[in-house]
Amino acid sequence: DLVAPLRAVLSGRKVTSRKEAIRLVAEHRVPGAAELLTELWARPDLHRDLRRAILSAARWLLDQPAAWDLLAHAIPAGDAVATGLTEVAPHTVAVPYRARYGALVRAVAAAADPDTARLGLAAWPAWRQWDTAGLDFLVDRVTDLNTTAIWRVAADALDRKSVG
């Protein structure tokens, strides 16, 4: 019975209230939660804090393909949104989904924007045991002379990989 009242809050104007409603939709797994969040994400004028809240909430719905679609849409959505993916610790993601989530963090690390890439590279080592393609990716980032703005962060992530 939460769908109707939460929809009302989600269509409101207060960002903080809407962020809380997004969390409640996912946490309580209201019927059609992933679809509801997808519908909200599709709004072109959606506040970036709400987009980040949707990303955070999507972690509760990883058993649903629509949640993965939302997470994948974060990568090209811009640095303020995409970096929300890097703020997730592996222990907060169910084990069966960690490899796929680690690949999302690696995608942030592959961003063209150096500031976004730095955040992804700094976060990636926590995901190393689940993202098996990450080591080759890091070597490529360190040796790519066209992206010298991030090589040191990539080297640091690579070094943390070899120590871990």
Residue pLDDT, tens place only, 18-61:
999 999 999 999 989 999 999 999 999 999 899 999 999 998 99
Structure token digits, residue 60? 């509760």
Residue pLDDT, tens place only, 82-107:
888 898 899 999 999 999 999 999 99
**CA proximity to 77, closest of 101, 37, 49:** 49
**CA proximity to 133, closest of 157, 102, 96:** 102
Name the DSSP class of 161: H
Residue pLDDT, tens place only, 120-148:
889 999 998 999 887 788 788 787 777 77
Q: What is the pTM of this model?
A: 0.84
Name the DSSP class of 44: T
